[in-house]
Amino acid sequence: KAKSLGKNQYCVYNDGMGVKEVRRMEIEKDLQLALENEQFYIVYQPKWNVKSNSLYGFEALIRWKHPRLGIISPGEFIPVAEETGLIVPITRWVLENACNQCNAWHEKGLTQPVSVNLSTRLFQTSSLVEMIQDVLGIMKLDPSLLELEITESMVLFDINDVVQQLHRIRSLGVRISMDDFGTGYSSIGLLDRIPIDALKLDRLFTEDINTPKKHAIINAIVLMAEDLNLDVIAEGVENHDHIEQLTQLGCHVMQGYFYGKPMKVEEIKDWINNHNTTIVTSSI
Ligand code: C2E
Ligand code: MG
Ligand code: MG
Ligand code: MG
C-alpha cells in the first residue's frame, strides 16, 4: 500500500511539473512571434525625489500580452529570452520605444530621464554598445535622458570586459544605475571599478525597514553613496512608514506603489497631470 501511495504521489508531482514544463515550452515557442505580432508593451513607473518634491525619472518595464496565457511578467519570460538569445532584439525594441516615448515627453516639457533594464547576458554579446549608440542615433534622443539599469550579477562574467563596455556606454553620455543593490552577488569593492551614477536599494531593504539591522545597513549604504557621489533610489516604497524611515536615513529618491504603479502611457498622462505643478509648467 505504501508503495502505491508513493507511486501516486510521484505521478501527481510529475503532472505538476508537466504543466510548468508545457507552459515554459509554450513561452519559448511563442516568444519568437511576440515581437512581430506586437504583443509586447511597456509600462512606466515614476521615481520621486522627496527632497525637492519633484519627478526624478521613469523606469520602463516590459509586459507581454500573450493571446492565450494573458499577461506574462518579465520575471517569467526574460530568463527564457536570455537563454534563447531573443533578449537582444527584445532589448532593442524596449530601447527604441522607451527612447521614442522619452522624446515625446521631452517635447512636452519633461526633462527627466527614462531608464531601461539591461540583462547581464547582453554584456556577453558583442554588439551591446553599438546597439545603444544605434538606437540613440535613430531616435535622436539626448543621451543624458537615457539611463540603463544593470545588476550585480555582472561580476559572474569577465569583469574587465564588462567594465570596459560600461565605460564606452557611459562615454556616450548615458547614465548607469545599479539595480537591486545589496542582494545578489553584492560586492562593494566592485563600486570602485564600475562606472555608475546611482544605486537602487533593493526592495528587501525597504520591507521591514524598522529592524535595527536594516537601519544600520541602509545608513551605511547611503553614507557610502554620498562619498562616491552616487544617487540612492529606494525600491518598493509602499507606505508612509517606508518614506519616513528612508528620509531619516538620508535616502531621498523613492520608487514604489506609494508614488505610482507601473503604468501605460495613457495612465502616466493622468498621473503627471495629478502631480503637475512640480513636474512640468504646462500639463501634458
Ligand atoms: P526591477 O528592474 O528591479 O523592477 C522592479 C520590479 O518591482 C517591477 O516588477 C515592479 O513592477 C515591481 N515594483 C515596483 N514597485 C513596487 C512596490 O512598491 N512593491 C512591490 N512589491 N513591487 C514593486 P516587474 O515589472 O514585474 O519586473 C520584474 C523584473 O523584470 C525587473 O526588476 C527587471 O529586472 C526585469 N525587467 C522588466 N522589464 C525588463 C526589460 O525590458 N528588460 C530586461 N532585461 N528586464 C526587465
Ligand atoms: Mg530596474
Ligand atoms: Mg530593481
Ligand atoms: Mg528588483
Q: Mean pLDDT lowest for which of 16-20, 113-117, 223-227?
A: 16-20
State pLDDT tens for residues 138-169: 999 999 999 999 998 887 888 899 999 999 99
Cell of 156: 559572474
The predicted model scores a pTM of 0.92
Q: Could you tell me the distance, in angstroms and rounded to a whole number, from the CA of residue 14 to the centre of ligand 1?
A: 31
Q: What is the mean pLDDT of residues 98-119?
A: 96
Number of CB atoms found within 10 A of residue 9's CB: 10
Q: Is 79 helix (H, G, I), strand (E, B) or coil?
A: helix
Which of 5-9, 106-110, 112-116 is most confident?
A: 112-116
Q: What is the mean pLDDT of residues 114-134?
A: 95
Q: Residue 11 pLDDT more than 60? A: no
Percentage of the chain exceeding pLDDT 90: 79
Q: How far is CA 32 from CA 42, 66, 249, 256, in A?
A: 18, 12, 46, 32
Q: Could you tell me the distance, in angstroms and rounded to a whole number, from the CA of residue 13 to the centre of ligand 2?
A: 34
Q: Is 65 helix (H, G, I), strand (E, B) or coil?
A: strand
Indicate the average pLDDT of the chain.
90
Residue 186 has what pLDDT? 66
How confident is residue 10, by pLDDT bands cut at 50, 70 and 90? very low
Q: Residue 35 pLDDT more than 90? A: yes
State pLDDT tens for residues 85-95: 999 999 999 99
The residues with which 71 forms a beta bridge, in sequence order, are 65
ipTM: 0.98
Please state, in angstroms and rounded to a whole number, the distance separating the CA atoms of residues 172 and 146.
10
Please state, in angstroms and rounded to a whole number, the distance separating the CA atoms of residues 189 and 202.
18
Q: Residue 122 pLDDT more than 60? A: yes
Residue 278 has what pLDDT? 52
Closest-lying ligand 1 atom to the alpha carbon of residue 180? 3
Residue 5 has what pLDDT? 41
State pLDDT tens for residues 197-221: 999 999 999 998 999 999 999 999 9
119 lines ligand 1 (CB under 6 A): yes
Residue 2 has what pLDDT? 37
Q: Could you tell me the distance, in angstroms and rounded to a whole number, from the CA of residue 262 to the centre of ligand 4?
A: 13
Angle at the Cα of 20 from the Cα atoms of 156 and 39, rounded to 5 degrees = 80
**Burial of 134 from C-beta contacts in 10 A (0-12 / 13-18 / 19+):** middle
Mutate to test the pocket of ligand 1, among 39, 61, 239 (most ligand atoms within 8 A of CB): 61
